Amino acid sequence: MVATSMSCVGLHGMFYLAAAVSDFYVPWDSMAKHKIQSAGGPLDMKLSQVPKMLPVLRNHWAPLAFCVSFKLETDPDILVQKAETALSKYRMDVVVANLLATYKEEVVIISNGKSNTIRRCSKGEDLEEHIIKLLEKSHSKFIYSSTEGCSKNDYEKLIPLGIKSLA
């Protein structure tokens, strides 16, 4: 699994969890084996909730990594509050929040009680470039603040073997 193999890079790892994962699913044992017949009348479906994996990532798979998650909402009145909740509840380092209606034009980056709004200036411009630049800076600050005050010996312990030559 990618997450557990990334745990060895510690602070230098970044998880950018931009997948739009559904909150609900139809369990295999509830799925029809054949075509559902419309003559049977209205159809009722029972959906199960998808297990939350961010706590597993943060607590077990890669606890030292820099974690970025995304929050998409349709209601502007709850967007920032839901993103801040995700930040604290799942111990994310950054949450990128946006609205379905404007997801290509604007995002709000939330971290450590601060928020930055990034807006697309022109039609051909991609928000992603601005998001990545901001996340690179945030990740660098995260590494620096996590190692500030460390002795050279302590810092060496934080750097994975495979990337010591880069440090």
CATH of the domain at 143: 3.40.50.10300
Q: Is the pLDDT of residue 134 over 50?
A: yes
Identify the domain containing residue 72 by its residue range: 10-20+49-166
The structural domain count of the chain equals 1
Backbone angles phi, psi at 112, to 5 degrees: 50, 45
> Which residue type occupies 86?
A
Kindly compute the dihedral angle of the four CA atoms of residues 152, 155, 157, 162, in this order, to the nearest 10 degrees.
-110
In sequence order, the 6+-apart residues with CB closer than 8 A to the CB of 125 are none
pLDDT in tens, 56-94: 999 999 899 999 999 999 999 999 999 999 999 999 999
- Residue 27 counted as domain residue: no
Q: DSSP letter string over 127-161? A: HHHHHHHHHHHHHHHHHHHHHTT--HHHHHHHS-G
- Residue 68 counted as domain residue: yes
- Residue 95 counted as domain residue: yes
- Residue 124 counted as domain residue: yes
